[in-house]
């Protein structure tokens, strides 16, 4: 089964996604920010990265750019919470920078797991 890397500074989100995705048979690693996420990906490349946009140290948009530069083939789902307008702007920008998919926080777990399945099966 696929290996997924979740990059989010919210430990609850990481734990929730880890449990839900492992229940579906995926292997899941977590990182608390973009710096650690890139280090983790270098050590153990994932089939998919689920990445929060708003994080300390290295936020998600900068992380997408760095990942695209170093690993152009990586599949990325970007997620963000906050106000509707800001969230939509950030997710639109994430898509333009290279995220294949975006999702609003909060989300239903089944919506995320369906999106993960879809992203992993795309070329």
77-117 per-position pLDDT tens digit = 999 987 677 767 899 999 999 999 999 999 999 999 999 99
First vs last C-alpha separation in the chain: 17
Report whether 118 contacts 101 (CB < 8 A). Answer: yes
Please write the tens of the pLDDT for every residue from 6-65. 999 999 999 999 999 999 999 999 999 999 999 999 999 999 999 999 988 888 999 999
Q: How many CA atoms lie within 13 A of 1 on its CB side?
A: 11
Give the pLDDT confidence score for residue 83 in this predicted structure: 67
Provide the β-strand partners of residue 3: 27
3-121: what fold?
Answer: Rossmann fold (3.40.50)
Q: Write out the DSSP string of 57-101.
A: SS-HHHHHHHHHHH-TT--EEEEE-SSHHHHHHHHHHHHHHT-SE
- d(CA 49, CA 67) in angstroms, rounded, equals 10
> Where exactly are the structural domains of the chain?
3-121
């Amino acid at each position: 089964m696929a290996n997924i890397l979740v990059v989010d500074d919210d430990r609850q989100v990481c734990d929730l996604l880890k449990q839900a995705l492992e229940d579906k048979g995926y292997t899941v690693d977590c990182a608390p920010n973009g710096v650690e996420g890139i280090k983790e990906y270098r050590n153990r490349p994932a089939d998919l990265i689920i990445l929060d946009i708003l994080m300390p140290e290295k936020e998600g948009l900068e992380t997408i750019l760095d990942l695209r530069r170093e690993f152009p083939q990586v599949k990325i789902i970007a997620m963000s919470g906050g106000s509707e307008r800001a969230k939509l702007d950030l997710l639109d920008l994430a898509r333009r920078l290279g995220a294949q998919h975006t999702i609003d926080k909060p989300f239903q777990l089944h919506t995320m797991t369906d999106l993960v399945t879809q992203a992993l099966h795309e070329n």
